[in-house]
Structure 1
């Protein structure tokens, strides 16, 4: 996309920009910075950058690199929305060579179903087979947050 680039190089990532956005998001509000840095270091990451090098978007894949991946932390900062960057980012991820051949690619979203459905994501057909341990307050509970030990 003219005026922007996507990088998969971890050294290009601006952790300050990523943390500022994600720590205020509905899905990871209050996440400790050390937790986010660990998550990033253990994921395939995709950063969206302006020509001047400023980071304006991000996404990461949590994956075993063979059969499964979970798409997480997808965002484009407010001032750059409406330019097609999120579509370009998701398309780039879906077409990424290492993603080809994975049996399952999942994500969770509260409000972007329209975006993801354009790239083949559908509601889970058999939700009764899925289970989870969900701790929505883990980042706010000093007993369970390892960053507070």
Structure 2
């Protein structure tokens, strides 16, 4: 995991180059997803955390994260059975919360996210398995 103090916004070309250099033969799936989460935090400015949630036959788990806040917010959604990361993973829809203080789609989740300092989030669906046994989302919390 990268030190948050060392993070700096990277250009899209730099991140794409780093993704292109990843050796899929040498990385486990978890290592690959951790690298994706780490790179996501270098692309965007500001104080943020990222995670990757996977749903395997409907059961959610966080397989990669850049910090405890991301894990805690993911787990809050898993406990309740809904939230932006689960919505993205289940529906394949990009899911954004612009302001957790005013978003009312998940009233038992967004106030807690705001209390923890995550005022916005973006969950990007990951199409992992064509048989629909595994789906996921890359989650960015800011």
RCO (CA 8 Å, sep 6+): is it higher in 1 or 2?
Answer: 2
Max radius of gyration: which structure? 1
TM-score over 0.5 (shorter chain): no
Q: TM-score, normalised by structure 2?
A: 0.24
Alignment TM-score, normalising by the size of structure 1: 0.24
Which structure shows the higher helix fraction? 2
